[in-house]
């Protein structure tokens, strides 16, 4: 007989009150402000925005504070928040070629128009703990360089001049960009929809998959054609006025990964490309995304699917950390009835097994005696 | 958008208005508030729509210049006001309703010959601040540019 059980309301309320206390921590310390999180934990904010697929620094910082720094919890909160808002529309595609570049490096060309601009990077730091940060340290103003800056040309355009690299990525005429927030996922999917899924995918998952392609699970020999980071304009068409207006700028990181390709019946030998575009400053994610994007393009290049990173359904179905955490973490919620049923079944199986063993003493008892 | 909210023609060129709306979107709330407070005569602005906050799905392009794809959403807030018979629209990233409303007010003021000079002064101020910030950022980035030099090895 199934008996519905209620209870735990007081326990839940008290647990949440305890959570609020632990979140706040030592009251003798000042409470951390949203502005401080945005300004001083900016890359955590960027990661939450990217994987929540919602760009808003203040709200992401609020979610980080609310989740005590649990990034996936913060992402979850942002995903829930976005469902409360109406959709105004789709932006005009952002022009990364017109980005206000804060960083741009290329591993394929040393001297290129615009140059190698390191920007604010952890690269070439020694990863030694800095004791000066134990205190409220004084920080020097950045240096400035005079003179006209060259336009920062896209590396893919340099290679395209020779015709040795494939184009930017075209889909059949009249293709409407898929939107996974509007339609359920179906496999196989077009590259645009895959990129949307990868852009919000878990950084750790994509990083591991990207790493697997380098270690031989998916045949890639990649070069970073270019990584660039900076601000782009977001423009929205206003039908009532008949033109698009800028809503402001957002920061994004873009990666153009270039890989070798021997050629097939359909196409001559050429370099192929993987593409990564991510909210905020996050080149680890942009690079991982571009490697996985390239690995997933097996059908375009008649490549055999032999590795996990090439398996579209495997990658895309498991890249979303809100879905993943929901399904994994639900296991801790009450399963009393499910388990009771399994327990009854297990007892019956054991009883039947024991009865069989008594009826025909033989191998089993012998083994037990040994 | 309610029908017929922008029936009154304005003689401002669409390209200028587009540029102005882009600058108003990048204004800070306090820039807008101060410019409003500094107006000698503050006409009444009647709300037509909003302010309302919603989402815009930002699109990128495959490979940077190819087919569009949906990158992710951004918060945006918009408002429309009617002011001395003209309608102004304000829209900006983020969730600040008062900023969107004031942007709409200045979009309307720009269409009125009597108030256009004040609106233009604000726009010039915003443009100057942004240019200053962009220039400083670009110069800071330029200072991190790698200057390669060749090491001469051996005797000759």
Mean pLDDT of chain A: 91
| pLDDT tens by residue, B62-81 | 999 999 999 999 999 999 99
What local confidence, expressed as pLDDT, does residue B107 receive? 96
Share of chain A above pLDDT 90, in %: 72
B151, part of any domain: no
HSE, side-chain direction, 13 A CA sphere, residue A154: 20
Cβ-Cβ contacts under 8 Å, B127 against chain A: none
Mutate which of A51, A52, A93, A122 to disrupt the B interface (most B C-beta within 10 Å)?
A: A93
Q: A with B: how many residue pairs have Cβ under 8 Å apart?
A: 235
Q: Count Cβ atoms within 10 A of the Cβ of residue A218 and give its class: 0-12 exposed, 13-18 middle, 19 or more buried.
A: buried
For residue A151, what is the DSSP state? Answer: P
Q: Which helix (H) or strand (E) holds A118?
A: none
CA trace torsion A354, A358, A364, A366 (10° rounding): 140
Nearest Cα residue in chain B from A169? B66
- What does the alpha-carbon distance between residue A175 and residue A80 come to, in Å, rounded to a whole number? 30
Contact state of A236 with B56 under an 8 Å Cβ cutoff = yes
- How far B102 CA lies from chain A's nearest CA (Å)? 14
B149, part of any domain: no
What local confidence, expressed as pLDDT, does residue A160 receive? 78
Nearest to A177 among B59, B143, B144 (CB): B59
What local confidence, expressed as pLDDT, does residue A188 receive? 94
For residue A94, what is the DSSP state? Answer: P
Q: What are the domain boundaries of chain A?
A: 9-82, 91-122+150-169+178-326
Q: Is the pLDDT of residue A4 over 50?
A: yes
For residue B40, what is the DSSP state? Answer: S
For residue A173, what is the DSSP state? Answer: T
Contact state of A279 with B18 under an 8 Å Cβ cutoff = no
In chain B, the number of structural domains is 1
Cβ-Cβ contacts under 8 Å, A156 against chain B: 63-65
Q: Is the pLDDT of residue A64 over 80?
A: yes
Mutate which of B12, B50, B73, B132 to disrupt the A interface (most A C-beta within 10 Å)?
A: B73
Q: Is the pLDDT of residue A364 over 60?
A: no
| pLDDT tens by residue, A93-129 | 999 999 999 999 999 888 888 899 999 999 999 999 9
Please compute the mean of the pLDDT values over residues A311-337 and round it to a whole number: 94
B105, part of any domain: yes
Quick check: A220 and A291 in contact, CB under 8 A? yes
What local confidence, expressed as pLDDT, does residue A174 receive? 87
Mutate which of B67, B107, B131, B139 to disrupt the A interface (most A C-beta within 10 Å)?
A: B67
ipTM: 0.91
Q: What is the largest CA-CA distance in chain B?
A: 83
Cβ-Cβ contacts under 8 Å, A91 against chain B: 56-59, 74
What local confidence, expressed as pLDDT, does residue B154 receive? 65
The residue with greater pLDDT, A5 or B84, is B84
- The boundaries of the domain holding residue B22 are 14-141
Share of chain A above pLDDT 70, in %: 96
B118, part of any domain: yes
Contact state of A175 with B144 under an 8 Å Cβ cutoff = no
Q: Which residues of chain B have pLDDT under 50?
A: 1-9
Cβ-Cβ contacts under 8 Å, A147 against chain B: 142
B154, part of any domain: no
Q: Is the pLDDT of residue A370 over 70?
A: no
- What does the alpha-carbon distance between residue A251 and residue B60 come to, in Å, rounded to a whole number? 13
| pLDDT tens by residue, A156-195 | 888 777 788 888 888 888 899 999 999 999 999 999 999 9
């Amino acid at each position: 007989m199934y008996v519905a059980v209620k209870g735990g309301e007081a326990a839940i309320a008290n647990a949440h009150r305890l959570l609020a206390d632990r979140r706040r921590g030592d009251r003798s310390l000042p409470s951390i402000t949203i502005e401080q999180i945005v300004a001083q934990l900016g890359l955590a904010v960027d990661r939450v925005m990217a994987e929540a697929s919602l760009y808003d620094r203040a709200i992401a910082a609020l979610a980080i504070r609310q989740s005590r720094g649990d990034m996936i919890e913060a992402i979850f909160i942002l995903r829930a928040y976005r469902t409360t808002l109406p959709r105004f529309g789709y932006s005009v595609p952002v022009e990364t070629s017109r980005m206000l570049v804060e960083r741009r490096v290329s591993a394929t060309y040393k001297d290129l128009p615009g140059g190698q601009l390191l920007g604010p990077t952890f690269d070439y730091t020694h990863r030694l703990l800095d004791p000066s940060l134990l205190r409220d340290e004084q920080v020097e103003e950045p240096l400035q360089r005079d003179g006209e800056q060259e336009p920062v040309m896209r590396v893919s355009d340099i290679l395209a001049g020779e015709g040795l690299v494939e184009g930017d990525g075209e889909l059949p005429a009249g293709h409407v960009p898929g939107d996974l927030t509007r339609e359920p996922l179906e496999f196989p999917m077009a590259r645009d929809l895959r990129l949307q899924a990868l852009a919000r995918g878990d950084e750790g998952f994509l990083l591991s998959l990207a790493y697997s392609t380098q270690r031989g699970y998916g045949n890639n020999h990649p070069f970073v054609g270019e990584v660039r980071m900076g601000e782009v304009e977001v423009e929205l068409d206003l039908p009532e006025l008949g033109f698009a207006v800028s809503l402001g700028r957002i920061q994004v990181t873009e990666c153009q990964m270039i890989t070798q390709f021997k050629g097939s019946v359909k196409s001559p030998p050429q370099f192929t490309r993987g593409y990564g575009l991510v909210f905020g400053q996050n080149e680890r994610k942009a690079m991982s995304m571009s490697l996985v994007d390239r690995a997933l393009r097996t059908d375009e290049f008649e490549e055999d699917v032999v590795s996990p990173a090439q398996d579209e359904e495997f990658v895309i179905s498991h890249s979303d950390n809100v879905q993943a955490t929901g399904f994994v973490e639900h296991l801790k919620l009450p399963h009393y009835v499910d388990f009771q049923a399994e327990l009854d079944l297990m007892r019956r199986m054991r009883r039947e097994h024991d009865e069989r063993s008594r009826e025909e003493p033989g191998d089993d008892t012998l083994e037990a005696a040994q | 958008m309610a029908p017929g909210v922008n029936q009154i023609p304005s003689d401002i060129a669409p390209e200028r208005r587009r540029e102005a709306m882009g600058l108003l979107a990048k204004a800070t709330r306090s820039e807008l508030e101060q410019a409003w407070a500094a107006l000698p005569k503050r006409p009444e602005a009647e709300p037509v729509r909003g302010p309302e906050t919603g989402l815009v799905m930002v699109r990128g392009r495959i490979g940077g210049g190819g087919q569009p794809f949906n990158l992710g959403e951004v918060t945006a807030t918009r408002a429309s006001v009617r002011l001395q018979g003209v309608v102004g629209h304000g829209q900006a990233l983020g969730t600040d309703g008062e900023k969107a409303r004031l942007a709409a007010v200045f979009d309307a003021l720009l269409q009125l010959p009597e108030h256009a000079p004040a609106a233009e002064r604000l726009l010039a101020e915003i443009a100057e601040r942004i240019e200053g910030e962009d220039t400083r950022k670009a110069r800071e980035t330029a200072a991190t540019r790698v200057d390669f030099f060749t090491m001469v090895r051996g005797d000759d």
